[in-house]
Structure formats: C-alpha cells, structure tokens
Structure 1
Amino acid sequence: MRLQCNLLERMREFDLIKTHFTDWSTNCSNLKLGIGDDCLVWQGDQPLVISTDTAVQGVHFPEQARPDQVASRAFLSALSDLAAMGASADFFTLALSLPADLTDHWLSEFAKQLRVLAQQYQIVLAGGDTTRSKLITVTISVHGCVAKPLLRSGAIAGDDIWVTGRLGGAAAALPTILASYDETSGDANLGTQAVSAKTSIPSQWLNAYWQPDIPMLFAKQASSLLNSAIDISDGLMGDAGHLARASQVDLEFDIHALPLAEQLQPNVPQHLALALAGGDDYQLCFTATKAARQSITLLAESINQPVSLVGRVVRGNGDVRWYDGTHQIKPALQGYQHF
C-alpha cells in the first residue's frame, strides 16, 4: 500500500535541501566539496575530531517545542563535544527524520535558526540526509580540528578541577517549560517569553535550557593549559565520574565552590540535586596544574567567560567525592541515564 503523501514527497528531497539549506556560508578552506554530491570532501593538516548527537522529539525536546528551539537544542548540545576536545568548529552534517504532517513553515523556521547558530559559531553545514519518521529526529555530526585533542584520560593527581558557566539552570527550568504547553490545544507557540511571563523563574534558567552558552572560544584558547576535559551534559556527578575513571584518579569537589545557577543554593538538597544530576548544562569540567591557575583566570576574564575552581585531583582509582566544607557527603544521585 502506498504511504500517505507528505512534505518530503511534495517537495522531493533535493528541493527541500535547495529551499532551506543552500546558499549558506561556506568559508572553510579545508572543505573542498560540500552539499551537492554523494560525499563531502575534506582535506586538512590537523587531527579531525568528530562527535554525533541525536535529538528525538519527546525525549530531548518537548513535543510541542518551536522549530527554532529544536534547532538550538540539537545543534548546541552537539557543539559542546567539540569544546570538550579543545577543537575548532569547522563543519557539521545534518540528518533530519520528519513526520508526514510537518509544515514547510516549521522547516523554514528550523533552518533559519540553525543558520543563525552556524554563523555565530562560524561552522559550515557541509552535507546530510533527510527521511521520514513518526517523530522529529535531528542528528548532527560536528567536526573540528585541534593539534592535540583534550581527553578525559589526562587528569593528573595534584591538578585543580574547574567548571565553566553555571550549573542546574536548565534542569530547574524543565518542569516549568513542560507545564507551559497546553496539551489539549497543542499550542506550540509558547516559548521563552511566554513561559517567563507566566512564571517567576529566572530568565537565565530558560536560556540555559533553550540556548546554552557553549564555551567554544575559551576551550580553544585554553586547551594548551589543560590536562583533561569533559562536557557536562548528563549532570556533573555522572560526567565527573567518567573523567575520574578514564584518568584512574579520584576527584574531590567542594559543593560550596560549585557555580550554581541563579536562585539555586548548595545547602538546599533539591537545588544541589539539580546542579549535580539534572543534566543539560553543556558546560565544561576540566583539570589543570596549579601552575596554570593564574593563566586560566586571566584568559577567562579577558573573554568574559565565567570559570570556577571547584576541587582537586588526588591519587585513586576513579572515585568522585563531595565535601561540605571538611565533611564528606554522599548525595544519593546519579547522572542522566540514556538507557
């Protein structure tokens, strides 16, 4: 039986690409051939680092999220992985799986926001794929170059532990964001301004969820000063554990040094839980020697990038410990689990 006619059938794949994803900036000297052929062609003289993220409707973004919000959530979470490697943002590929009833307006607004972000972070759309599915699914592969990639396995006993930005805001905003959608009417027009007008939560929480500020410039400029790094996507507690195990060291954190989002306090258990295990922060946790402390601080100040010294690396076997002053605490939490 023939499937029902949908957007992809009406426009055809090549028409869709031509309408929404061509005539973008292609200012990337190592990209020899981009959109329009069977494969892109890249030729560079530094190691190429690649990360792929998939965002699924109803899992990684609310079902009724606006198209520009979907673009931001999908793109920025992928970009965060390049920052964790200290890499430049050079090009990305986009795979879209779209439902039958998706409108051309939705796709136009999605592409418009994606283009704005690509220009902001100076990264080129170089290719991709489109297909049909029941749910909106966005897969983005980001590619960048770096002479010496930062790894999770580079932490050394004696290192300082740092984090960028603020933690917990995105997780704090999520209940309000979900509650803001009227399930009976299917109103997809509620976004940051609408939620802010209906609630008293800080706008910084909403921005942290919909448009996290990825520390790309800091990571690239600071990479030579750092020994290890990981992006905080599934919650600091879980991601710090990945770094500790990869480096075979123990990490010790001072919860009062953690840069929590506005109105969150470490002495409130629910607030601390959001910062440690809420996820969706897309900031960096990194380590560096004490000798690099001043250079890191000066660099961060020069580009207006918030950084916080939050702990230390000690000899061990991959454990993470949390301290409230001199007293060790054991939060009954874990990071986000994908399965």
Structure 2
Amino acid sequence: MNRNEFDIIRDYFSTPELSFEQEGLELGIGDDAALIQIPNANSLSISTDVLVEGVHFPTNANPSQIAKRALSVNLSDLAAMAAKPSFFTLGLVLPSANEDWLSEFSAGLGEIAQKYRITLIGGDLSKGPMAIAIQVHGLSPIGKALRRDGAKIEDELFVTGPLGEGAIGLLCVGGKSHLGSSFKFLSDPPNKIRNYFEEAYYQPTPRIDFALTCREYISSAIDISDGLVGDLKHLVRASGTGAIVEVEKVPVSREAQCFMTADNLRRAALYGGDDYELCVTVPPSKTKEFIDQAKKLGIEVIKIGKIITGKGVELVSSLEKTIPVEGVKAFTHF
C-alpha cells in the first residue's frame, strides 16, 4: 500500500507514547508549527544532534535500537545543562517507507520518550539515505543551568560512571573505531558480554535525574560524547583553565577489563567517546555533600582529577610522572 508522509506521521508519530500532555504545550503535531509557552522564570535549553547511517549507527541496525540511541544521546545534552526534558522534534530521512521498520522505530522512540517524559511536537519526513535529526528542548530555572564555563582553579573533577564502554560497544556492533585497527578485543567475548556492550552503545543512560538533583554542587559540566580528553578540553577552554587527570582513577567496568589489553582499555576510556556519562567540576567545599547526594540516587561519582591553572588537559600516572596526550584522538566528523 502506498503511504504518504502524512499517513506515516499520523500512524507512527502521533501516538499516545509520543504525544502526551506537557506543561506549556499549546499545540503539537498537526499544524505548520508547534506553539509553546515557556513557564515563568525558566530558561529554555535547546540542542540538536544528527545521526547518519554508517557513521553514527551501523547499516541495517535494528530500528528500535537506532531510535533509542538517537533520542538518548540528545537527552544527554540536556543532562549536561541540568535541563528537565520537555519537547523534541524529529527530522527523519528514509530510503523507503517500510512499515515494519517504522513500527519498530516508533516503539523504541516511544519507550525513551515515556521514560524521560519528553513530548514529540513536530518534525519532518523525507526520502533519501537514512539520517535522523533530533532537537530536544529542556527547562531549568533561570540561572540554574549548568554550563562549561564555570570551572574554577582547585575544583575537583568527577565522572558519573565507567568510561570506554561506548567505544567497545561500537566494536561489538561492527562499527569502525577512530582509535584504529589496533583497537580490538584481547579475546572474543561471549554473547552475554557482547550484549552488555551493545546495550551501552545503543541505549546510553542520560544522567538527567543526577543533574537535576546535584546541580547546586556543580560548577561546570559536559557530557562525554567524543571522548573524555577531547570533551574535557572543551570544558577547560570555555572556563579559561586547565585540568589534570589521574589516569588510574578513570573508571572502567570489570567486563571491559576482562577482554581488552591495558593499553586499549586506557585508550577507550580516555579517547573512545559514546559514553554519555557526565564530567563535572565541584568546589572542594561541596564535594562531600555532592558525593552523598549522588549516592542517594545510586550513582557512585568518581574523582579523576582537578582543575588547575594553565591550558589544556594533563594526564598523570603513578607509574609515569606525565603521559603524553595522544594526538587528536577524540571523535571528529571532519
């Protein structure tokens, strides 16, 4: 059956899972534009990510997993700003209108939208090589949003979970790593472990609750999408500072330790990307309360270094006084 874009939007993207009531929403899908009232005394955070088949997810990947990844990585940007998810738009380019594919994609998108209570309010649909563009909108009280430019000298540096799993997950799904051909498994992991890393890649956990609860202790934040070192460089550049990272303190999972060499494990954690944990700075006077508050959420934040005078990111080790930062190893598009 031939279906036009309006049929597809009605049947797969105007569903209750994606179109529920939200404060400030006057008009959603169905008109030339959505209408939104921003609640008083709130700032609106807006972020956009574009995901392209063969670059951000493998060709012929499961459509539900694609949808979960697409929305989750966008939500991670809202977490980095400590913005409560409110609305999103979806731009979808598809080579064909395959109904099974659309049904699975819509279901995966709806699962994440429901989990984080974010409403689809519009978008666009076109034919061509597969690509997904999502714009997310989130709210935070005026003056309470987290930013990259707030780090101060002597602030302590924390991450919200193990790093390197996204890069390892990319290997598991058959993707090409920017870390090169030497980045590979020490031995072939069993299916259970592969599934663990694939889930880390396709369905990262945006640290929304953590950011909303702990923002009063945090001076600056960034989500780790392109690699810890690369993203931390962005943060210290914005803050006009430098940072020192104690490499042995950067957390990695036990699953990763079993199947990667120590060198590849370190490279994955420092440069791999696709982790979507948060890297945050906290003044020393607030660290105890910060750690305690995070624990109440079930999150063990890990101190990995501190903010220093100077520029850039310095890596240190108990075995080596300093470790050279490898070239430009963060993921880049060009």
How high is the TM-score relative to the length of structure 1? 0.88
1:287 CA displacement: 0.4
For 2:5 and 2:324, the matched residues in 1 are separated by 53
Match of 1:205 in 2: 197
Mapped contact 1:204–1:262 kept (Cα < 8 A): no
Q: Who is 2:113 aligned against?
A: 118
Query: In the alignment, does 2:233 pair up with 1:237?
Result: no
Partner of 1:132: 127
Q: Does the residue aligned with 1:172 lie in a helix, a strand or coil?
A: helix
Stretches of structure 1 lacking an aligned partner (at least 5 in a row): 1-6, 180-195
Counterpart residue number, 2:21: 27
Alpha-carbon distance, 1:77 to partner: 0.8
Contact 1:98 1:132 in 2 (8 A): yes
Alignment partner of 2:134: what SS? strand
Q: Please list the CA deviations of residues 38-70 of structure 1 after superposition, one character each: whole Å capped at 9, or x if unmatched.
A: 111111221101000011011000001010011
Q: CA offset at residue 202 of structure 1?
A: 5.2
Q: Within the alignment, does 1:283 sit opposite 2:291 as a pair? A: no
Asked whether the equivalents of residues 291 and 300 of structure 2 are also in contact (C-alpha less than 8 Å), the reply is no
Question: Which structure 2 residues correspond to residues 173-322 of structure 1 after superposition, within 5 A?
Answer: 173-178=169-174, 199=191, 201=193, 203-264=195-256, 268-316=262-310, 318-322=311-315
Residue aligning to 1:61: 57
Cα pair 1:169 1:262 within 8 Å, conserved: no
CA distance in 1, matches of 2:316, 2:196: 27
Q: Are 1:323 and 2:316 counterparts?
A: yes
Opposite residue 61 of structure 1, the aligned amino acid is F
Aligned residue type for 1:150: L
Aligned position for 1:84: 80
Contact 1:91/1:143, CA 8 A, preserved across alignment: yes
Q: Distance in 2 between matches of 1:280 and 1:239?
A: 11
Moved segments of 4+, more than 3 Å: 196-204, 263-267
Displacement of 1:107: 0.5
**Aligned mates of 1:306, 1:207 — CA distance in 2:** 20
Q: Secondary structure at the match of 2:200?
A: helix
Q: Secondary structure at the match of 1:313?
A: strand
Shift of 1:197: 9.1
Distance 1:125 1:306 in 2: 32
Q: 1:200 to 1:119 in 2, by over 3 A?
A: closer
Structure 1 residue 13 displacement after superposition? 1.5
Q: Which residue does 1:338 correspond to in 2?
A: 333
Contact 1:264 1:272 in 2 (8 A): no
CA 1:267–1:159 in structure 2 vs 1: closer, same or farther (change >3 Å)?
Answer: farther
Residue identity matched to 1:126: I
1:203, 1:62 → 2: CA distance?
A: 16
| Structure 2 residue corresponding to 1:74, chosen from 66, 70, 74 | 70
Conserved in 2, the CA contact under 8 Å of 1:89 and 1:123?
A: yes
By how many angstroms is 1:335 displaced? 0.5
Stretches of structure 2 lacking an aligned partner (at least 5 in a row): 176-187
| Equivalent residue pairs, number | 312
